[in-house]
């Protein structure tokens, strides 16, 4: 239980911050450690009330003086991730710590309380090893889901607000360059609506519990009953009914939908956002569809797309189906298993015609959500768009109607930090 009367101990809070910064939870997140230390120092020195997105961006992240939080929401994203990491810490490593640190929603100032455990509190017997391992797996799955849902709600709300402002001319219009115009011309000129479909992978909920399980090989709810792990888990819990859930959205997809909405929303009023599970073949024939996610999420619905690929995504990178002289057969991803939020992945962008050639289809896919986010950045940032345009334009200075592009995306602490062109193919 919490004891608010003991909440004023700054020295105890400082020691607790040091403990959290050295924890396994934050070991592979240097950016979050730096941000938490910065916010903590400001809080303990009495300067936290003056903290805002701009000051954190400039002082903690070294952003330029013309940094605009409306254009770059990385500070909010990282603060949200700190809240998630603190939750992870106190549910695992710090479950017995007396000092509890948190960052209240909507604020940047730290809050701490000291909790006491009654001496008469009963001691629970340790469960069997097998159940402890299962519980840890499920706890991590559930926490990952909760954190992603939090990010999704924050970004979804921000997207809605920004689109509304753009439509009412309450914010400056996006600076459309010639290259951005060319990259998005089919979607800007079409009279059919635009649908942005983002990956919403299947989670299996167990009725009567707060447990959600994600297994990549399970693509449809009916496949869950054949999973040996789920069968064993359900047996342990008394065979609760399976409840399919599509509530989870990867953070990179939410960020990407915001970037696309902010760009295209200044020119189109008929943009809608949906989950990939809701995309039907009929919709591909009636609307211009932009897909963001791993191809495995959409492949069964793309039978009507007029796409004869030269490049195709695989679990470990991008496969080059017809390599030319000097080209590799596989553009292989590289990220250390010890730090999965750091690495280098390849992203594939494919543009094709929809069923009957009356609509446009574009997909942004990669093995990691941050690879997909990096690809979207390349198509929405004027500087990166100019580089892409110069590589794929035809001799006449126009872009081919249908093409595929391979991009290399480097990311650090789950944030794309560099996007570069690798190769492309014009497809028929």
> Each residue of 54-64: pLDDT tens digit?
888 888 877 88
The residue with greater pLDDT, 93 or 106, is 93
Q: Evaluate if residue 7 carries a pLDDT over 90.
A: no
At 385, the pLDDT band (50, 70, 90 cuts) reads very high
- pLDDT (0 to 100) of residue 48: 77
- pLDDT (0 to 100) of residue 226: 81
Question: Does residue 343 sit in helix, strand or coil?
Answer: strand
Tens of pLDDT along 303-323? 556 678 899 988 889 999 999
- pLDDT (0 to 100) of residue 304: 59
- pLDDT (0 to 100) of residue 140: 35
Q: Is 17 exposed, middle or buried (0-12, 13-18, 19+ CB in 10 A)?
A: buried
Tokens of 245: 């859930």
CA nearest to 309, candidates 300, 295, 322, 326: 322
Please state at what angle helix 129-167 crosses helix 74-91, rounded to 10 degrees.
160
Distances (CA, A) of 13 to 55, 317, 342: 23, 44, 30
- pTM value surpassing 0.75: no
CA atoms within 13 A of residue 135's CA, in its CB half-sphere: 11
- pLDDT (0 to 100) of residue 2: 36
Distance CA 372, CA 252 (A): 7
- pLDDT (0 to 100) of residue 127: 35
Q: What is the mean pLDDT of residues 331-349?
A: 85
Tens of pLDDT along 235-256? 888 888 888 877 777 888 888 8
Domain range summary for the chain, segments of one domain joined by +: 2-115, 158-199+250-426, 202-245
Tokens of 16: 């607790």
CA nearest to 148, candidates 111, 199, 186: 199
């Amino acid at each position: 239980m919490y004891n608010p009367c003991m909440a004023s101990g700054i020295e105890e809070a400082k020691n607790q911050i040091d403990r959290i910064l050295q924890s396994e939870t934050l070991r592979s997140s240097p950016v979050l450690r730096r941000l938490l230390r910065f916010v903590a120092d400001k809080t303990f020195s009495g300067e936290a009330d003056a903290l805002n997105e701009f000051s954190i961006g400039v002082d903690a992240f070294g952003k330029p003086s013309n940094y605009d939080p409306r254009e770059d929401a990385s500070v909010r994203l990282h603060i949200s991730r700190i809240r998630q990491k603190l939750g992870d810490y106190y549910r695992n490593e710090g479950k017995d710590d007396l000092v509890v640190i948190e960052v209240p929603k909507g604020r940047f100032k730290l809050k701490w309380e000291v909790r006491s455990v009654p001496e008469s509190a009963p001691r629970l017997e340790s469960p069997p090893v097998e159940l402890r391992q299962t519980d840890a797996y499920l706890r991590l799955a559930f926490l990952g889901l909760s954190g992603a849902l939090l990010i999704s709600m924050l970004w979804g709300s921000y997207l809605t607000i920004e689109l509304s402002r753009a439509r009412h001319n309450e914010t400056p219009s996006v600076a459309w360059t010639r290259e951005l115009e060319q990259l998005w011309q089919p979607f800007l000129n079409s009279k059919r609506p635009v649908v942005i479909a983002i990956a919403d992978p299947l989670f299996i909920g167990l009725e009567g519990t707060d447990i959600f399980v994600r297994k990549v090989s399970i693509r449809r709810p009916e496949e869950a009953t054949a999973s040996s792990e789920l069968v064993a888990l359900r047996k342990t819990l008394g065979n609760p009914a399976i409840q399919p859930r599509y509530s989870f959205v990867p953070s990179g997809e939410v960020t990407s939908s915001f970037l696309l909405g902010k760009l295209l929303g200044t020119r189109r009023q008929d943009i809608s956002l949906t989950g990939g599970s809701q995309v039907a073949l009929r919709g591909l024939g009636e609307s211009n569809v932009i897909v963001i996610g791993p191809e495995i999420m959409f492949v069964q619905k793309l039978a009507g797309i007029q796409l004869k690929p030269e490049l195709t995504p695989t679990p470990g990178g991008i496969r080059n189906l017809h390599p030319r002289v000097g080209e590799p057969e596989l553009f292989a991803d590289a990220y250390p298993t010890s730090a999965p939020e750091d690495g280098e992945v390849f992203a594939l962008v494919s543009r094709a015609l929809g069923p009957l050639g009356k609509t446009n289809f574009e997909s942004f896919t990669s093995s990691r959500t941050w690879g997909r986010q990096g690809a979207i950045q390349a198509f929405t940032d004027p500087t990166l768009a100019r580089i892409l345009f110069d590589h794929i334009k035809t001799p006449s200075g126009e872009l081919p109607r249908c093409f595929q592009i391979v991009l290399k995306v480097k990311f650090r602490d789950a944030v794309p930090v560099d996007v570069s062109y690798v190769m492309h193919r014009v497809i028929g």
